[in-house]
Amino acid sequence: MSFVLVHGAGMSAECWQRLVPLLDGDTIAVDLPGRAARSDIDLRSVTLTDCEDAIVRDVLDADLSDIVLVAHSFAGVSVPRAMAALAPRLRHVVFLSAVVPQDGTRVLDQIDSEVRSAVESSIGDGIYHQDRAGAEAMLCNDLSEPDTAWTLDQVVDESAALLSEVVDLSGLTVDVPRTYVRLTQDHCYPPDLQERSSRIVGGDTVFLESGHMAMVSIPDQVAAVLNQLHR
């Protein structure tokens, strides 16, 4: 079994750093376009198709199979796009407090109204830039001071266009098992919205006591959920 981890908005593959060593299989953490390994790409030009292509390319380059594909947060709109292309290689898809709007709508239509206002006020010149205080309120409510500092150091700019692009969830029709992990203390994507997304995803539901950055706060528990999928 292998694992492919896809980060959310305003993050890079580095956010999975504490989880990766705990997983029982070959693991890659994808950098979506415009950051880290793909920082040569102008964020203003990035589309959801580009995100899909990055996920598929990393899997094909690593020649992985029997994959547990994990979507955190905003990756709930990019991972479904990759599911059809990767279907023969997939074992299970896991949505970790993932934003999954109704097909044909925008991410901005789905998120909590207060969070949406904060997001919209942080957009300028095609870039979504989270200030440190705003990111702390959304991402770090359950984290210790050192974990908060570490998490905030991971925050990067994001393409504003991705938030308003109409999503394509046709990949969810792929016949592959899936699990939605609901985080009960999440201030970024609150439990009621997670419940709505979990209904769209279908499959199993798991509850974990954590805020939005469960791979930081409780990596051992996240790893336990993922590792048991090979049994």
User: Could you tell me the pTM of the whole model?
Assistant: 0.94
- pLDDT at position 121: 74
Dihedral sign from CA coordinates of 125, 36, 14, 206? positive
Q: Is the pLDDT of residue 114 over 90?
A: no
SS (H, E, C) 36-62: HHHCCCCHHHCCHHHHHHHHHHHHHHH
- Indicate which CATH number applies to the domain containing 62: 3.40.50.1820
3-state class of 193 per DSSP?
helix
3-state class of 23 per DSSP?
coil
Q: Which residues contact 113 (CB under 8 A, 6 or more apart)?
A: none
Q: Is the pLDDT of residue 8 over 90?
A: yes
38: confidence class by pLDDT, cuts 50, 70, 90: very high
Q: How many domains, in total, are found in the chain? A: 1
Q: Is the pLDDT of residue 223 over 90?
A: yes
3-state class of 123 per DSSP?
strand
**Which of 134, 129, 140 is closest to 213 using CA atoms?**
140
- Classify residue 166 by its DSSP letter: P
158: confidence class by pLDDT, cuts 50, 70, 90: very high
- pLDDT at position 95: 98
Tell me the per-residue pLDDT of 72-98, one tens digit each, with 9 for 90 and over.
999 999 999 999 999 999 999 999 999
Tokens 């694992």 belong to which residue? 3
Question: What is the mean pLDDT of the segment spanning 19-46?
Answer: 94
Q: Which residues contact 219 (CB under 8 A, 6 or more apart)?
A: 18, 19, 22
- pLDDT at position 231: 59
**Where do the H-state alpha helices sit in 140-183?**
145-154, 161-164
Looking at per-residue pLDDT, the higher value among 17 and 110 belongs to 17
Q: Is the pLDDT of residue 107 over 90?
A: no
What is the number of H-type helices and E-type strands within the chain? 10, 9
- pLDDT at position 151: 97
Range of the domain at 206: 2-230
Question: What is the mean pLDDT of the segment spanning 7-25?
Answer: 96
